[in-house]
Amino acid sequence: MIPLFLPFMSKEAIANATNVLKTSWIGEGPKVKEFEKALSPRLGTDNVLTVNNATAAIHLALRLANVRGGEVITTPMTCTATNEPIINEGADIVWADIDPANGSIDPDDIERKITKKTRAIMVVHWGGNPVDLKKINRIAKTHRVKVIEDAAQALGACYNDKPIGSHSDYVIISLQAIKIINTVDGGILTTKTRRDWHRAKTLRWYGIDRDRRIVKETYWDYPIKEAGYKFHMNDVTASIGLGQLPHLTQLLQQRQQQAAVYLKALEQSKSLKPVSVYPGAVNSWWMFTVLCGNKDNRLKLWKKLKEAGIDSGEAHIRNDIYPLFRKYNRGPLPGVRKFNDEKLCIPIGYWVDKEAVKKIADILASF
Ligand SMILES: Cc1ncc(COP(=O)(O)O)c(C=O)c1O
């Protein structure tokens, strides 16, 4: 069976981790700083912080956006990791609809749902496909609210010639096991301002700025002003990241080539379509999503792929159906319903060899 997802682990990453494990410093230290420095050009900003996972980065972004007691406009079409932190950070969820052509939050619906209580807009780049960032950031500016990009799936994606990581107030990226590159578990937060970067750096370690410790005779003193978390990355996982990062360009290129084959095949299909990509956006193709028209057709395609030894799946289902989120449901979300009913993700990545790509493409073309 060709799996839908498979972790990538380079030889360098394994060697790096082994070396760090043999040293006396395995917690947060020089490797974390080195990894953040190496990430910076890939993200188009110096305001980079690594953390232990992207969910933690979402918590930090929500804290920085001061959402407690207010509302966050968000999409239900995502991993629950996008939305659970909103509740945990003390804000109310307001669902916005999505564009059924690609699963991205609909800027017009965001604008309709903005109130005096709105503190932030949470957007998700479904499968690594950037949302309409220009329009959304314009709306946010007009209404003086923050934009948080859940770019968990979008490392390597671009928008208007700049990498995802540099466009909004806060951007979070996941380095969890099955992402294009991983640090086993890990996450990244980027911030627009240096002030926010500094606050987040402090919050990620109990409200302590470890670079500003005051050494007393028998203890270290820190001016702790705000209750933080234990969200930092460690040197073992950072060293894995340092061994993975040099492979990112090639891994992304391979996905672009595979996506091109699938896109060509879909032109011939009578009932399947790819997701649309906004002008100026470059999809990272962490997931390749096929729009099947309806649930029945999706099940047929899933079965056909399964018979051919190919795994596929929905990846995430709309969050608003979970009991946890039901109290936030206020009106119909027709775009969410359509996309949720017809999406199917097919394998894309280094483990899908040329022969398998062709096999998948042939099934898509003849469907
Ligand atoms: C859209 C989205 N947001 C957030 C997360 C959470 O990432 P992590 O597992 O690094 O906490 C994921 C995980 O895959 C995700 O897909």
CATH number of domain containing 105: 3.40.640.10
- Choice between 223 and 353, residue whose per-residue pLDDT is larger: 353
Q: What is the pLDDT of residue 219?
A: 87
User: Which of 245, 276, 298 is where one domain is finished?
Assistant: 245
Q: Is the C-beta atom of 171 inside 6 A of ligand 1? A: no
Q: What number of other Cβ atoms are within 10 A of residue 300's Cβ?
A: 14
For residues 151-157, give the mean pLDDT.
Answer: 98
Q: Is residue 44 situated within a structural domain?
A: yes
Question: pLDDT tens for residues 82-137?
Answer: 999 999 999 999 999 999 999 999 999 999 999 999 999 999 999 999 999 999 99
State both tokens at 48: 């980079």
Q: Is the C-beta atom of 81 inside 6 A of ligand 1? A: yes
Query: Can you tell me which atom of ligand 1 is nearest the CA of 179?
Result: 14
User: Which of 213, 245, 277 is where one domain is finished?
Assistant: 245
Q: Which residue has the tokens 């091109």?
A: 260
Q: Is the C-beta atom of 152 inside 6 A of ligand 1? A: yes
Residues 167 and 283 grouped into a single domain: no
Distances from the Cα of 58 to the Cα of 8, 120, 126, angstroms: 24, 12, 16
Q: Is residue 1 situated within a structural domain?
A: no
User: What separation in Å is there between the alpha carbon of 58 and the centre of ligand 1?
Assistant: 9
User: What separation in Å is there between the alpha carbon of 81 and the centre of ligand 1?
Assistant: 6
DSSP code per residue over 202-249: HHTBTT--GGG-EE-SSSEE----S---B-B--HHHHHHHHHHGGGHH
Residues 329 and 198 grouped into a single domain: no
Find the helix or strand (DSSP H, E) in which 37 lies: helix 30-43
For residue 279, give the DSSP letter: T
Contact between 51 and 231 under an 8 Å Cβ cutoff? The reply is yes
Q: What is the pLDDT of residue 217?
A: 87
Please tell me the total count of domains within the chain.
2
Closest C-alpha among 126, 180, 172 to residue 146: 172
Residues 33 and 124 grouped into a single domain: yes
Residue to mutate (ligand 1; options 153, 184, 240; most atoms within 8 A of CB): 153
Q: Is residue 5 situated within a structural domain?
A: no
Closest C-alpha among 239, 204, 197 to residue 47: 197
Residues 320 and 224 grouped into a single domain: no
Residues 275 and 334 grouped into a single domain: yes
Q: Is 59 helix (H, G, I), strand (E, B) or coil?
A: helix
Alpha helices by DSSP H, 89-229: 107-113, 133-143, 194-203
Helix axes 295-307, 334-342, angle to 10 degrees: 20
- 170-174 vs 146-150, strand pairing mode: parallel
| E-assigned strand segments in the chain | 48-51, 71-74, 92-95, 98-99, 104-105, 118-124, 146-150, 158-159, 162-163, 170-174, 187-191, 214-215, 220-221, 273-274, 281-282, 288-291, 343-346
Query: Can you tell me which atom of ligand 1 is nearest the CA of 178?
Result: 14
Q: Is residue 180 situated within a structural domain?
A: yes
Mean pLDDT, rounded, of the chain: 97
Residues 155 and 271 grouped into a single domain: no
Q: Is the C-beta atom of 319 inside 6 A of ligand 1? A: no
Query: What residue numbers bound the domain in which 273 lies?
Result: 248-366
The residue whose C-alpha atom lies closest to atom 8 belonging to ligand 1 is: 54
Q: Is the C-beta atom of 102 inside 6 A of ligand 1? A: no
Q: Is the C-beta atom of 82 inside 6 A of ligand 1? A: yes
Query: Can you tell me which atom of ligand 1 is nearest the CA of 124?
Result: 1
For residues 21-48, give the mean pLDDT.
Answer: 97
Residues 104 and 162 grouped into a single domain: yes
pLDDT confidence of 367, banded at 50, 70, 90?
Answer: very high
Residue to mutate (ligand 1; options 78, 79, 83, 180; most atoms within 8 A of CB): 79
Q: Express as a percent the part of the chain with pLDDT over 90.
A: 96
Rounded distance between C-alpha atoms, residue 327 and residue 6, angstroms: 36
Q: What is the pLDDT of residue 220?
A: 86
Residues 285 and 211 grouped into a single domain: no
Q: Is the C-beta atom of 76 inside 6 A of ligand 1? A: no
Query: Can you tell me which atom of ligand 1 is nearest the CA of 58?
Result: 4
User: What separation in Å is there between the alpha carbon of 79 and the centre of ligand 1?
Assistant: 6
Residues 255 and 222 grouped into a single domain: no
Query: Can you tell me which atom of ligand 1 is nearest the CA of 174?
Result: 10
Question: pLDDT tens for residues 159-217?
Answer: 999 999 999 999 999 999 999 999 999 999 999 999 999 999 999 999 998 888 888 88
User: What separation in Å is there between the alpha carbon of 366 and the centre of ligand 1?
Assistant: 34
Rounded distance between C-alpha atoms, residue 363 and residue 344, angstroms: 14
Residues 359 and 252 grouped into a single domain: yes
User: What separation in Å is there between the alpha carbon of 222 and the centre of ligand 1?
Assistant: 32
Residues 206 and 266 grouped into a single domain: no
Query: Can you tell me which atom of ligand 1 is nearest the CA of 176?
Result: 10
Contact between 146 and 164 under an 8 Å Cβ cutoff? The reply is no
The residue whose C-alpha atom lies closest to atom 7 belonging to ligand 1 is: 54
Q: Is 138 helix (H, G, I), strand (E, B) or coil?
A: helix
